[in-house]
Amino acid sequence: MSTADEFKPMEYPDAAGYPDGTGTLDEGTAALVDEVTADALREVDRPSADADSEIAVHRDDDAQIYVAVIGDRELANLRYREAAGRVVILTTNVAPEFRGRGISADLIANALDDIRERGLRVTVYCPVVASFMAGNQQFADLIDPDDPGF
C-alpha cells in the first residue's frame, strides 16, 4: 500500500453539509491557512520580547507529534507519521485562543528545520503546512518528489 493510500487528506463537508471532493476546510483550519500565508505573517500579534515565558517546540517521537508549549501548556501541535523514510505531515492544530499570533508558522518552521537536520523528506497532507511551504520556498527542497502529497 502506498503512502497516498494510507494517508488521505481530511475532507470536511461543504456549506450544504456534504463532502464535495474538493477538500473543504473547517473554519479553524481555514483560519490557520490564512495565518501562515506570507502576507498574514506580517500582521500577526506576536508576544513581546518582555513576555514571561518563551514558546518552545519539541518533537515527541513516540506520539509522532511536534508540540509548541509555553511552560507546561500545549499551544499547538503538528501531527505526522514516518513512512518509507520520510515524514508524512497530517495536521496542524492551534488552540483557538492562541491563533493569530504566528505560533503555527513558528511551529511549522521549527518542525521543517528539524526534518531537514534529520535528512528526511516530507509528504504534506496538511493544508496549513502546504500553504506555509508555498509561501516559504526555502523549504521546497524537503518535498518528496515521488510522493509530495498536496
- Tally the domains of the chain: 1
Distant-in-sequence, close-in-space partners of 39: CB < 8 Å, separation ≥ 6:
none
Residue whose C-alpha cell is 470536511: 12
Comparing C-alpha atoms, which of 132, 130, 142 is closest to residue 9? 130
Give the cell for residue 31.
483560519
Inside any domain, residue 1: no
What pLDDT, on a 0 to 100 scale, did the predictor assign at position 5?
47
Residue 48: pLDDT band by 50, 70, 90 thresholds? very low
Inside any domain, residue 98: yes
Q: Cα(25)–Cα(14) distance, rounded to whole angstroms?
A: 8
Inside any domain, residue 122: yes
pLDDT at residue 74 greater than cutoff 80: yes
Inside any domain, residue 96: yes
The pLDDT tens digits of the residues spanning 75-115 come to 999 999 998 889 999 999 999 998 888 899 999 999 999 99
Range of the domain at 41: 25-45+54-142
Residue whose C-alpha cell is 509522532: 64
CATH code, 79: 3.40.630.30
The pLDDT tens digits of the residues spanning 5-39 come to 454 445 544 444 444 555 556 666 666 676 766 55
Inside any domain, residue 79: yes
Comparing C-alpha atoms, which of 100, 120, 106, 114 is closest to residue 68? 106
pTM of the predicted structure, to 2 decimals:
0.72
Inside any domain, residue 106: yes
Inside any domain, residue 18: no
Inside any domain, residue 116: yes
What pLDDT, on a 0 to 100 scale, did the predictor assign at position 27?
60
Residue 150: pLDDT band by 50, 70, 90 thresholds? confident
